[in-house]
Chains A and B, each alone.
Chain A
Amino acid sequence: AAGVIQSPRHLIKEKRETATLKCYPIPRHDTVYWYQQGPGQDPQFLISFYEKMQSDKGSIPDRFSAQQFSDYHSELNMSSLELGDSALYFCASSFFELTVNRRGRYEQFFGPGTRLTVL
């Protein structure tokens, strides 16, 4: 079965450079989530999109921006990179469906992550 695809898998940048991370959700999934996991840290939510609109926002720095495109893939743009941005960036996708008891189901499926190293 198709999974969430992230590219690139590894990225090395210098301080003050920019980086673009891409996420391709599972086909038919309409929601994309971005998470950041620093070394030894648990993942932290950055931002999410539903049907190409921002649906929730977490601890995303102003230097970062993201969008979801008409084919539902998403890009996370990171500018003026800092050493502290070095982390594993996960994308997850989900599809809203009503279960048999009419409750919403948002099971998230994770991509393999992009490991960003800022030197």
Chain B
Amino acid sequence: KNEVEQSPQNLTAQEGEFITINCSYSVGISALHWLQQHPGGGIVSLFMLSSGKKKHGRLIATINIQEKHSSLHITASHPRDSAVYICAVRIQGAQKLVFGQGTRLTINP
């Protein structure tokens, strides 16, 4: 079983829909990252969380440390949001990131 599990693996929605991507982890962590990877391959860091909630534009990320669960929400989704969204955790006592398998999001116009 992977230390970091994401769901769903693939998600297709219509423009304007509210999107939720979930991430569960099974280890103690010091931080959780949400990353975005476009087809060209480059990775962009969206959020780093250790507690609570963060918002940036139409993106919202939450984390529940007790339940070992995080969610990434996209409001008013747009075709340019189409990408792979990756949850990655920094395990306690380490600096490296352990990645989930990613969620491929496709937003149709």
Q: Contacts A42-B86, A42-B101, A42-B102 hold; do A106 and B45 have CB atoms under 8 A apart? A: no
Q: How far is the CA of A90 from the CA of B43 in the complex (A)?
A: 8
B48 at the A/B interface (Cβ < 8 Å)?
Answer: yes
- How many of chain B's residues have a CB under 8 angstroms from any CB in A? 23
Beyond the given pairs A56-B94, A88-B41, 8 more chain A to chain B contacts, judged by CB atoms under 8 angstroms and listed by A's residue number, are: A31-B95, A42-B86, A43-B88, A43-B97, A56-B95, A58-B96, A103-B50, A110-B42
B27 at the A/B interface (Cβ < 8 Å)?
Answer: no
Task: Tell me the smallest distance from the CB of B27 to a CB of chain A, in Å.
Answer: 14
Q: For window 70-109 of chain B, which residues contact chain A by CB distance below 8 Å? A: 86, 88, 90, 94-102
Closest 6 CB pairs of A and B: A110-B43, A45-B96, A42-B99, A112-B42, A107-B48, A43-B99
B31 at the A/B interface (Cβ < 8 Å)?
Answer: yes
Interface 1/0 per residue, A98-119 and B, CB below 8 Å: 0000011111111011010000
Q: Contacts A42-B101, A42-B102, A94-B95 hold; do A107 and B45 have CB atoms under 8 A apart? A: yes
Task: Tell me the smallest distance from the CB of A31 to a CB of chain B, in Å.
Answer: 7
**Dominant SS among interface residues on chain B:** strand
Task: Tell me the smallest distance from the CB of B52 to a CB of chain A, in Å.
Answer: 12
Chain B residues lying within 8 Å of A88, measured Cβ to Cβ, are: 41
Most buried by B among A104, A110, A112: A110
CB pair B99 A55 closer than 8 Å:
no
A33 at the A/B interface (Cβ < 8 Å)?
Answer: yes
CB pair A110 B44 closer than 8 Å:
yes
CB pair A113 B101 closer than 8 Å:
no
Q: Contacts A33-B95, A94-B95, A103-B50 hold; do A113 and B100 have CB atoms under 8 A apart? A: no
